[in-house]
Amino acid sequence: MPEKKPGSADHKTDAAGKHASGAPWRNFYGRFKGKTLKDSQKTYLEEDLAALSPGAVGWEENPERTNLDLQALFGDREVWLEVGFGGGEHLVHQAQNNPQAGIIGAEPYINGVAMLLGKIRKATTNNIAIHPGDARDVMDVLPEQSISRAFLLYPDPWPKTRHHRRRFVTQEHLKPLATVLKPGAIFRVATDIPDYVRQTLEEVPKAGFERIRASDAELHACWDDWISTRYEQKALREGRTPHYLTFRRLG
C-alpha cells in the first residue's frame, strides 16, 4: 500500500483539521510518481538522495518546525530555492555556474528527483540540497529572510478555471515565499501559459513584490543565464510562447 501523504483524504486529522503529526491540511494535486523508474534511477534514489537532504523538513521528523541550519548546510554561501525543479536541468546549471550559492530544490515527483540525481552525479556539484516533496514544507522550516533568489519554472498550469486556486501563484504559496526571501531577493517565473502570466502579475505584487524587467520585449526575452528546460522545449514544439517574469522582494 502506498504511503498516505499529508493532505490526502484518508489521512487522519483532528477536530482542528490537523494531522496527527501536527501538519496542517494541505491538498496536493500533482503526481508523486510516473512511469517505472530505470534501475539506475532506483540506485540514485537509494544511494544518493539521503545525503542531499537539506535537513528535517517533513512534519513527522520535525513536528516543531525547527528552522533548517543553512550555515551547516552550505556554509557562508547565499541560499537559493527552486520550486518544482522538473528534471533538474536548470538547477544543476545554476549550481555549476554559481558556486557562491547553495541551492535547495523541492520536487514531489519522484521521477524528476531521480533524473536530477543522475545529473548531479555527472556534474559533481556540491552545492545542491533536495527535498523530494512539497515546497510548502520546505518554506515552513526556512529561516525568515534567508533566501536570496527563488525560481518557479514551468509550473503545472492547471488550465481549468475551477483549478486556478491550485496554482503556485496564490497567496497560500506566495506569502510563505515572501517571508523566507530577503528584501531585494529576486523571484523568477517562467511559463508558456498566458493565463498563468495574468494570474502571476495579479497575485505576486500582492505578496510584497515589485515587477522588474517589465517591458513587453523583456517578457519574452529569457534571462542571460537561462538554460532551456525540457518543459520549455515541449512548449516550443507545440507552438506555445515562453514568458519570463522577474520580481523583486520589497522590504
Q: Which of 88, 1, 99, 6 is nearest to 48 (CA)?
A: 88
| Number of C-beta neighbours around residue 179 at 10 A | 18
Secondary structure of residue 173 in the 3-state scheme: helix
Residues 6 or more apart whose CB falls under 8 angstroms from that of 68 comprise 54, 55, 56, 57, 141, 142, 143
Residue pair 41/117 in contact (Cβ under 8 Å)? The answer is yes
Any idea what DSSP says for residue 104? E
Joined grid coordinates for residue 68: 533548517
The residue annotated as part of the active site, out of 156, 192, 195, 224, is 156
195 is catalytic: no
**Within its chain, how far is the Cα of 11 from the centroid?**
24
Residue positions annotated with a catalytic role: 156
